[in-house]
Structure 1
């Protein structure tokens, strides 16, 4: 489809749309969920199928350009000049096999589509807190599901991956075919190729008892509640998952009236099992909370799983930072309460501590490159880059992470690493550990020696070699 007079060579190679700077549709094509990500590529290719991806990779190599990829645009890696950005949103095929309990998903499929298709069969996908995120990009980063204590990382449940490597070859990799690449793609991020489809296992989830309770953080004994949450959380079976978050909620009509403009503490809970047992498990924590602003924990249909964390669904400009925690002694909880209190004056939307352990900590039958598997908790801080606070938000998130570093493992995971600054890079390498980093770097050098996927690899690899163009 021709949308620009500046791209005849590239347009002749693909069936999908091609956009050049200044052409109609270029700006719209770049838009994703994270409005803070400012792409400026030479061209945008809206791939119609895997063959378009192969052709675009070949074009980029021949013309000396790098490659970037976007599906839903939840990530924060920007494609700059000298880059061709491949949009995979139209690779939206979804093939569910209820008997095998698998789904084969294109790179443009979102988790909500999987949840909707799987639920009638008593199955679910291991989505993140926001089901609007794409399955593929999330899983390449490991996949920290709010059901992960019960089932493990999303990357642990990948059977095979269809990927276009930087040499322009379309491959299907699994435990027996190109096992090193299969290992790296499951948790190592998007640095090794452009994934066009993957086949994933769907765990059996016949029932959920889940949701959240909000309390007023300005009147509650936050340090005391955090201690109660930690002590309770550490007694939970693997079938129960939980996190606690400090929220600064805007005064927006989209929010329930009791929450508008509030500073709140948010208990999240997700139990895989019947309502009676779920209610029994959450009862001690419910009893420790003051009168709630909103109590929304109860039987929950699997397709409504996004209600547990209640993440925003509309596009917004945001940035996040995260770190894995080695433990939560009282001093750590006091520090968290202090740095996230209104008295600290830091602009943030959400700072969460999530319980890990359980199936998160177990190595899958087919090992992968997931970082931070054995950490007992992680912390994630999110800020909105909106005037007049935008310029202060990155520093605020850095301050929150810095305050919690004494109780961290020193590392992070791809899904919560945040930006591409040197500190995030070093924490991610620490999260992987030196052995995994060495293996990832060696494979990266083998599959992409020219650094064509450089924007996707900054977190885990040393600076790429100069790209050899013609």
Structure 2
């Protein structure tokens, strides 16, 4: 397919470097990574995606996909045709079957709102701005219902995908179990997903919110949190956050330049106040938003940032929170650490996250906690080659600690780094599927799993 044919076949915008709108089309949420592809195809439907893939194949170029830009991996260069999906925003909720079909550019906020209108809930991420497809292809850890129902990927019924040959396919566990397996957890290595169909759950409200403590109580709150998670039933999904807020005008005055500790939780039981009583006793509570809330309000549990910025991210997967783990977290992120790490988020997994799904996928199950460490980089400042967040995760797990497809950062984008996100059997199965469906590794601008030579 020639460039004129591409322009004729695509309904959405086709932008080359220097064209008006090119920079804005390639913009991302975390500006630690930026993109400069050969051309951007602003897909409006699956046929636009097919045209872009066929064009890349004809031109012997690679394919990169920018769903929403929240999950950076590596900078896309002029070797690649970039597909953006933000114009593909169709959402259909079926109240009778308790399912949803969403297109590739849909954000979780749209699905939460549509499902809540009929008394249902999806396994949504923490931010309403996060894209459904990219989140789900890595597994998808719901901050509200995850321990009760598992990963978002566990409840996908069908995947609509354009493969490297330019064909559009509807993949189910029955039609092609190997391709279905690799799509869910394989993070876009075998095609461009244009739509997903997945289960919704009959949940209309839950006990949820957060408790905020002064950073001086960090040790006591962390110990109380560990006791809470050790005894937690599957109805409780939670995390603890150490936040060193900057001394800036937009930050509430009582938090400026200080460490705060937040415990965020969502609970499907009826005894929420009794459950969190030991946490409330761990130290003076600065703010308490725990209440029975409608599912439509779950974004308020975390109140994630909405504006783009630059940050360096690192992750560590933990089997337990041992005394030495707590000591290391407090040393590098606690009240006496100096605030070099902006945020540390420790999420409790287990529960339904640890159980195999009805239809096998590539998401790993053998993780008890996921730790996310983030350092905000001021505008114009160089990215640090190493920072305290890297030191924290390295000390907790060592250089070869296990990773997880839902928790990968640009620092993990090497073949060796991605390899750590899977057990041996899963990784070899993924390579087999990759070799069958993308033997030339056209889809490599991601957390890449290379085909066998």
TM range (shorter): over 0.9
Rounded Cα–Cα distance in structure 2 between residues aligned with 1:8 and 1:257: 57
Q: Which residue of 1 aligns with 2:373?
A: 381
Q: Which residue of 1 aligns with 2:206?
A: 208
Deviation of the 1:311 alpha carbon: 1.3
| Matched position secondary structure for 1:293 | strand
Rounded Cα–Cα distance in structure 1 between residues aligned with 2:250 and 2:268: 29
Q: Which residue of 1 aligns with 2:308?
A: 315
RMSD (Å), alpha carbons: 2.1
Rounded Cα–Cα distance in structure 1 between residues aligned with 2:400 and 2:366: 10
Contact 1:236 1:281 in 2 (8 A): no
Rounded Cα–Cα distance in structure 1 between residues aligned with 2:223 and 2:213: 15
| Deviation sequence 1:421-459 (CA, Å, 0-9, x none) | 46x75454233111111110111111111111111242x
Q: Which residue of 2 aligns with 1:55?
A: 51
Q: Which residue of 2 aligns with 1:71?
A: 67
Alignment of 1:51-450 (within 5 A): 51-77=47-73, 78-146=75-143, 147-217=145-215, 219-220=216-217, 222-274=218-270, 277-288=271-282, 290-341=283-334, 343-345=336-338, 347-371=340-364, 373-387=365-379, 390-392=382-384, 394-405=386-397, 410-421=401-412, 425-450=415-440
Instruction: State TM-score, norm by structure 2.
Output: 0.94
Deviation of the 1:389 alpha carbon: 5.8
Q: Which residue of 2 aligns with 1:468?
A: none
1:24 to 20, 25, 29: 20
The 1:224–1:428 alpha-carbon spacing in structure 2 relative to 1, beyond 3 Å, is farther
Gaps in structure 1 of 5+ consecutive residues: 1-5, 466-470
Deviation of the 1:42 alpha carbon: 0.5
Contact 1:101 1:203 in 2 (8 A): yes
Deviation of the 1:208 alpha carbon: 1.2
Aligned residues: 450
| Matched position secondary structure for 2:190 | coil
Rounded Cα–Cα distance in structure 2 between residues aligned with 1:284 and 1:152: 26
Instruction: State TM-score, norm by structure 1.
Output: 0.91
Deviation of the 1:369 alpha carbon: 0.5
The 1:12–1:187 alpha-carbon spacing in structure 2 relative to 1, beyond 3 Å, is same
Rounded Cα–Cα distance in structure 1 between residues aligned with 2:274 and 2:58: 62
TM superposition outliers: structure 1 runs of 4+ over 4 Å: 252-257, 387-390
